[in-house]
């Protein structure tokens, strides 16, 4: 990404720290790693929460099967515009909050989600809302479905073990700031 785009993302991040939650975007290393730790090749329905400007969205579309559908959730208007410019029939952009996931699943005929990738900045979201989003995600997933979350600290780790009963942590040092991927499986 060129410096101008990085600066624009940074400025937007500063302006919307409450809704964006990070002033930097995920590096390609982080995007590759989160996808690497999932079984994307078997997925039929994928959800991305907190899609931002689409850096991970594009990677998911590149790696997912041809018959797979991706719903990308984002609440920042500028980022929604960028997501809507991605030309891929398999992508559904939801300019809405993650709590409304069941509505979109019903609307698009998705019975259960195979994988949820999330970059929602839970550190700036009230704990009750964060838990509701993760609980809704779990309820929407098939058995053995994968939930993968990007974090910049391990403060929230307990929430995933509480809700899913399991959580694995992967570290990605090649990101600014260094990031963790927390992965839980629906049993």
ω before 14 within 30° of 0 (cis)? Answer: no
Give the contacts of 85 (CB within 8 A, at least 6 positions apart): none
- pLDDT tens for each residue of 17-63: 444 444 456 888 999 999 999 999 999 999 999 999 999 999 999 99
What are the residue ranges spanned by the domains of the chain?
A: 27-185
Q: Residue 177 pLDDT > 90, yes or no?
A: no
Q: Which residue has better confidence, 104 or 176? A: 104
What architecture is domain 27-185?
Answer: 3-Layer(aba) Sandwich (3.40)
Confidence of residue 8 (pLDDT cuts 50, 70, 90): low
pTM of this structure:
0.88
How many Cα atoms occupy the beta-carbon half-sphere of 154 within 13 Å? 9
| 3-class DSSP state of 105 | helix
């Amino acid at each position: 990404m060129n410096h101008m785009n990085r600066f624009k993302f940074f400025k937007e991040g500063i302006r919307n720290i409450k809704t964006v939650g990070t002033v930097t975007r995920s590096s390609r290393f982080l995007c590759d790693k989160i996808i690497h730790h999932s079984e994307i090749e078997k997925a039929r329905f994928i959800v991305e929460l907190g899609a931002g400007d689409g850096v991970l969205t594009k990677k998911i579309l590149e790696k997912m099967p041809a018959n797979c559908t991706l719903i990308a959730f984002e609440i920042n208007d500028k980022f929604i515009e960028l997501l809507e410019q991605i030309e891929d029939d398999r992508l559904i952009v939801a300019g809405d909050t993650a709590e409304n996931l069941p509505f979109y699943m019903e609307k698009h005929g998705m019975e259960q989600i195979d994988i949820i990738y999330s970059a929602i900045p839970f550190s700036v979201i009230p704990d009750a809302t964060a838990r509701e989003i993760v609980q809704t995600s779990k309820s929407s997933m098939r058995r053995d479905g994968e939930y993968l979350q990007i974090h910049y600290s391990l403060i929230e780790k307990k929430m995933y073990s509480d809700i899913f009963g399991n959580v694995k942590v992967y570290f990605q040092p090649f990101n600014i700031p260094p990031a963790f991927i927390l992965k839980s499986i629906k049993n």
